[in-house]
Amino acid sequence: MEVPNILDIKQESTEPFVISFMPSERYANVNGYVHGGILFFVCDDIIGRYVTAMGRTGAAADGNIHYYRPAEVNKRLFANINERKSGKRLGTYFVELKNEDDTLIADALFTVVFNS
């Protein structure tokens, strides 16, 4: 199954599972930083990619993000995922989003409901 690649997301590694992307001015908010909605999208996207890579299908049932610093446009961002729990019907995943200087920008916790 091919996952859409809206932001030219690049998979950096599978173990640990890391993706990266370079947000352009197109994704800036009124303050000139990357819009928080785009950062939330990236956290949700890596979970979909990870779950698909593990041979499962599902959808986020819940997501909670914490923003710590603004993300700069034209500065590569990296997201890595940690599986907290994967059961028969639900999975819980923690995502950290850092910039190219390894500074924590945001983290998020999601619950996924598996299709079967």
pLDDT tens for residues 11-46?
Answer: 888 889 999 999 999 999 999 999 999 999 999 999
Q: What is the pLDDT of residue 11?
A: 85
What tokens does 35 get?
Answer: 């819009």
Structurally, how many domains does the chain consist of?
Answer: 1
Residue 5 pLDDT grade (very low, low, confident, very high; cuts 50, 70, 90)? low
Note whether residue 5 is domain-resident: no
Q: What is the pLDDT of residue 60?
A: 94
Note whether residue 1 is domain-resident: no
What domain range includes position 107? Answer: 10-114
Note whether residue 25 is domain-resident: yes
Residue 7 pLDDT grade (very low, low, confident, very high; cuts 50, 70, 90)? confident
Note whether residue 82 is domain-resident: yes
Note whether residue 50 is domain-resident: yes
Note whether residue 107 is domain-resident: yes
Residue 2 pLDDT grade (very low, low, confident, very high; cuts 50, 70, 90)? low
- DSSP for 15-84, please give it: TTEEEEE---GGGB-TTSBBPHHHHHHHHHHHHHHHHHHTT--EEEEEEEEEE-SPPBTTS-EEEEEEEE
Note whether residue 108 is domain-resident: yes
- pLDDT digits 0-9 by tens, 92-115: 999 999 999 999 999 999 999 999
For residue 43, what is the domain's CATH number? Answer: 3.10.129.10
- pLDDT digits 0-9 by tens, 51-85: 999 999 999 999 999 999 999 999 999 999 999 99
